[in-house]
Amino acid sequence: MKKWQFWFGVLISALFLWVAFRGIQWTNLWQTLQAADYIWLLPGIGVYFVGVWVRAWRWHYLLGPIKKIPTRTIFPITVMGYAGNNIFPARAGEVLRAVILKRKEGVPVSASLATIIVERIFDGVVMLSFVFLNLPELAKLTSASGFVGNIQQVAVIGAGVFAGALILFLLAAMFPHTTMRVGLWLIRFLPERFHTRIISVMNKFLDGLASLRSPFNVLMVFVTSAVIWLLETSKYWFVMQGFDFHVSFFALMLMNGIVNLATTIPSAPGYIGTFDTPGIAVLTAYGVDPATAAGYTLVLHGALWLPITLLGLYYMAHEGIKWNENIRNELGQSSSES
């Protein structure tokens, strides 16, 4: 709570929320929330957790070259990690699940973090694919929101970033010895007392990229990532059935892509504001009434946040993991032991 990063995230969230709600009539928003049919949340949450299980399977697949761990073991760790992302700032849940995996299965933290970064890169590639599939339609839309206006430029920049990261990781995975030589050359400029630990971390990190050495594995991870995000878009569709508007599934794919790319912006825990503002803007661009768009987006955000957070807290209580642990210190200890 005392760190400037936390308060900077809170400031960003406040700015996004101001942009999202400055022109919305609160009476209309309340009426939208009252009129919604919340029974549609049930199938939406159900299909979302199917997607979480697929996420756990994907992580099990990426971890395969390091250690074969059943998906049923990976699932609660995955849930705890996503709950951590919803509660801690700076996506600390990713570090949390790497630490828990170290505790339970002995997988080095640096290796599991490599697989988690690979997940995020493929997620970004799929999100950008969702955006690019719908750019021609988006270009035809008119909207007062400047958030949507320059999305093509943002998508092109994002595509360059994620494509560059993916190429870098694929090269590192396919040429581990060359990568290690480059790493050894770079650490020459650091004090010698750090060399042993850095070399150990680099070795374990490259082990975590082993699954990318096969083109088939790369294809499997990409296809699995696409399935995950299509299932999440299905949740968007189910929740929409409870509100008085309709847009196409492709429009919801576009919304999903944009809001999840926007959540990479630093914000308060739970992606407050960075999720809501672009979601409302996209729906408004499709002609949805702003109050209806805001009500739907808020309910959707809550339905994405609350169930997995509660389940993650349950698993953490079951494992005896306390939220006040110093995850950063434990990460350091795990890295030195690996």
Q: Provide the phi-psi class of 91: left if phi over 0, else alpha when psi is between -120 and 50, else beta.
A: left
Measured between alpha carbons, how far is 298 from 311 in angstroms, rounded to an integer? 20
User: Rounded to the nearest 5 degrees, what angle is found at the Cα of 146, between the Cα atoms of 142 and 151?
Assistant: 80
For position 145, what pLDDT does the model report? Answer: 46
Burial 85-124 (b: 16+ CB within 10 A, else e): bbbbbebbbbbbbbbbbbeebebbbbbbbbbbbbbebbbb
Q: Which of 185-189, 246-250, 298-302 has the lowest mean pLDDT?
A: 185-189
For position 323, what pLDDT does the model report? Answer: 58
For position 114, what pLDDT does the model report? Answer: 87
pLDDT at 197 over 80: no
Top mean-pLDDT range of 65-69, 136-140, 151-155: 65-69
For position 38, what pLDDT does the model report? Answer: 98
Q: Contact, 129 vs 152, CB < 8 A? A: no
For position 49, what pLDDT does the model report? Answer: 98
Q: Which of 43-47, 282-286, 294-298 has the lowest mean pLDDT?
A: 282-286
- Averaged pLDDT of the chain: 86
Residue 292 backbone dihedrals phi, psi, to 5 degrees: -65, -45
More confident residue, 68 or 197: 68
Concatenated DSSP letters of 67-127: ----HHHHHHHHHHHHHHHHHSSTTHHHHHHHHHHHHHH---HHHHHHHHHHHHHHHHHHH
pLDDT confidence band for 335 (50 / 70 / 90): very low
Averaged pLDDT, 6-22: 89
- pTM for the whole structure: 0.86
Q: Which of 39-43, 108-112, 199-203 has the lowest mean pLDDT?
A: 199-203
Q: Contact, 128 vs 162, CB < 8 A? A: yes
Q: What is the pLDDT of residues 82-101, one digit of tens each?
A: 999 998 877 888 989 999 99
pLDDT at 283 over 70: yes
pLDDT confidence band for 324 (50 / 70 / 90): low
Residue with tokens 């949740």: 235
For position 190, what pLDDT does the model report? Answer: 83
Q: Contact, 8 vs 266, CB < 8 A? A: yes
Measured between alpha carbons, how far is 279 from 185 in angstroms, rounded to an integer? 45
Averaged pLDDT, 236-247: 97
Averaged pLDDT, 204-220: 83
Averaged pLDDT, 42-66: 96
pLDDT confidence band for 156 (50 / 70 / 90): low
pLDDT at 2 over 80: no
For position 330, what pLDDT does the model report? Answer: 57
